[in-house]
Amino acid sequence: DYGDAWRGMRVNSYTDFILTKLQRVKEIEGNGGKTSVSEGIGSNYMDIINYAVFAIIKLTEEKD
């Protein structure tokens, strides 16, 4: 789903994405797990994990 676009992004962009996803999870939990349009909590957590992995890769590449 992400393609290669993530490689050109800055690490702080991943932080923003993660925070946005966390806020969405809180909203879904506040609605008793119900969503009207978006994917469920599991998908949001998976996105958070993916963004974190992308950030780790970027930080590792920048370090080398």
Q: What is the DSSP string of 1-64?
A: --TTGGGGS-HHHHHHHHHHHHHHHHHHHHTTT--SSS--HHHHHHHHHHHHHHHHHHHHHHH-
The per-residue pLDDT for range 2-56, each reduced to its tens digit, is: 788 888 889 999 999 999 999 999 999 998 888 877 688 999 999 999 999 999 9
pTM of the predicted model as reported, rounded to 2 decimal places:
0.82
Query: 54 and 14 in contact (C-beta within 8 Å)?
Result: yes
Residues whose CB is less than 8 angstroms from the CB of residue 10 and which lie 6 or more positions away in sequence, other chains included: 58
User: What pLDDT score was predicted for residue 64?
Assistant: 67
CA distances from 2 to 7, 16, 33, 41 (A): 10, 16, 25, 19
